[in-house]
Structure 1
Amino acid sequence: MEKINKANILKDYVLITIGVVLVAFGIQYFYAPNEIAGGGLSGIAIVINYYIPQLSMGTIIFIGNLILFTISFILIGGDFGFKTIYASIMLSVAMDIMQKVFHSYALTNNMILAVLLGTVVCSIGLAIAFSINASTGGTDILAKILNKYTNFNIGVSLLVVDLLVVIFGGFTFGLGKGVYSLMAVVINGLTIDFLIARIEKKRKEKEENKDEVLKPQQVQ
């Protein structure tokens, strides 16, 4: 039983790592080089990196998450889980490796393709993390704080925070890129919802199949 639990834990962290690497790839090879601030702490990092290029985006995300975790610990409480802490740290590490070691660049300069491909890659990575009760921190924490001290629900809170990031991105990189950033936020939300629904459906089907296999054994 202990071996099974350890195997499941290891599987979860491997999946989180894969998800985080996909998110980092989408940001570093599609969003950042095309100045698409598609919401989230990564969008904030893209804007800050533009004004302070000495700070890598991975470092900005790490500092941002550290500040947000501290604030939320004071305002909300410390119930975040090791998975989210691990995912947020690994996202910073993965982004720094791609930026400093592999010298990440734009795989396409076509803005529509950059939005679509970057959002699909990031959405898959985030859906993998969300499906095993993890997140990459960032604006999820801001949304929880907003949710606690206002009448906004989590979904609306996330949208409000992401829209603020898009607005800052629009002021920094221009209205045109602000519109592409908004597209990225909307497509990202829809894609994550679709993917999580598919994952949950597959999970339920697997559990139902297990129950059907166990039923004859229980009758005997």
Structure 2
Amino acid sequence: MTKENRMNIIKEYIITTIGVIIVAFGIQYFYAPNEIAGGGLSGMALVISNYIPQLSVGTIIFIGNLILFLISFLLVGGDFGLKTIYASIMLSVVMDVMEKVFHSYALTNNMVLAVIVGTLICGTGLSIAFAINASTGGTDILAKILNKYSTFNIGISLLLVDLFVVVCGGLTFGLDKGIYSLICVILNGILIDKLMAIIEKKIEKKREEKRKSIKDYELKKAQ
């Protein structure tokens, strides 16, 4: 492995960590304290934690991810699986730290603000992870699989796999919060699609610049 490859790997894991912290912040300070099951394994963990309060949301996410990792390795690939394992473990750890050390609380009790701001934060973090072929685990893994083996884009894939979580959230926390959760899932899918398009465009631009630079260097060398 060359030095450049090592640096690229380190860079990818740093970016993944940043994405994870952003997602954890959105969940712990906007979704969880307002009982918004905004899709994903985190939303399901919030529902399960309501029935088993002895388990923290972070712990439930960790256990749930263990079940899904094998699927990730078999159907998506080793690279995605390794980064997903790292990201999901980090998400569980960061969420537990925010909950038990920093005693996370609702930054707003206004449900509309919690939905909008929480979705903007979580969607941004997830997009950062997806952009480098990673995931925070959970239903993101199922969405990635659906995206790979179907014609659905990643946003629609997330929407489809999260509908079940929304229904569970509505049954657990009431119809009103179930509707807010559904809005979160829809907005999250739209936001991720938009952000992924922007990110991929920038990545492709950088690749094109790199290819051009290499071509120019080779031409100069040939002269």
TM-score, shorter chain, exceeding 0.5: yes
Question: Partner letter of residue 165 of structure 1?
Answer: V
The 1:170–1:200 alpha-carbon spacing in structure 2 relative to 1, beyond 3 Å, is same
The 1:145–1:134 alpha-carbon spacing in structure 2 relative to 1, beyond 3 Å, is closer
Counterpart in 2 of 1:136?
136
The 1:154–1:66 alpha-carbon spacing in structure 2 relative to 1, beyond 3 Å, is farther
Partners of 2:50 and 2:95 lie apart in 1 by 16
Deviations 1:42-78 (A, max 9, x none): 00011111121111000000011112235x3798597
Partners of 1:90 and 1:107 lie apart in 2 by 22
Partners of 1:161 and 1:211 lie apart in 2 by 38
The 1:9–1:175 alpha-carbon spacing in structure 2 relative to 1, beyond 3 Å, is same
Counterpart in 1 of 2:16?
16
Of residues 133-142 and 112-121 in structure 1, the stretch that sits farther from structure 2 once superposed is 133-142
Question: Partner letter of residue 187 of structure 2?
Answer: I
Q: Does 1:98 align with 2:98?
A: yes
Partners of 1:145 and 1:77 lie apart in 2 by 6
- TM-score, structure 1 as length reference: 0.89
Question: Partner letter of residue 205 of structure 2?
Answer: E
Counterpart in 2 of 1:31?
31
Identity, % of aligned pairs?
Answer: 67
Contact map agreement 1:144 1:154 (CA 8 A) in 2: no
Counterpart in 2 of 1:65?
65
Counterpart in 2 of 1:184?
184
Question: Partner letter of residue 55 of structure 1?
Answer: L
Partners of 1:31 and 1:104 lie apart in 2 by 11
Contact map agreement 1:75 1:145 (CA 8 A) in 2: no
Shift, 1:163, TM fit: 0.7
Contact map agreement 1:29 1:105 (CA 8 A) in 2: yes
Q: Which runs of 4+ in 1 moved over 6 A?
A: 144-148
Q: Which runs of 5+ in 1 are unaligned?
A: none
The 1:121–1:208 alpha-carbon spacing in structure 2 relative to 1, beyond 3 Å, is same
Alignment partner of 2:37: what SS?
coil
Q: Does 1:5 align with 2:5?
A: yes
The 1:153–1:94 alpha-carbon spacing in structure 2 relative to 1, beyond 3 Å, is same
Shift, 1:140, TM fit: 3.1
Shift, 1:153, TM fit: 5.5
Deviations 1:121-161 (A, max 9, x none): 1111111110100011211344577899x999676654333
Partners of 2:173 and 2:22 lie apart in 1 by 25
The 1:125–1:3 alpha-carbon spacing in structure 2 relative to 1, beyond 3 Å, is same
- TM-score, structure 2 as length reference: 0.88
Deviations 1:153-195 (A, max 9, x none): 6766543331111011011111111111001001111111111
Q: Which runs of 5+ in 2 are unaligned?
A: none
Shift, 1:211, TM fit: 3.1
**How many equivalent residue pairs?**
218
Partners of 1:143 and 1:131 lie apart in 2 by 14
What value does the CA root-mean-square deviation take over the aligned residues? 2.6
Counterpart in 1 of 2:217?
217
Counterpart in 2 of 1:83?
83
The 1:76–1:218 alpha-carbon spacing in structure 2 relative to 1, beyond 3 Å, is closer
Contact map agreement 1:37 1:43 (CA 8 A) in 2: yes
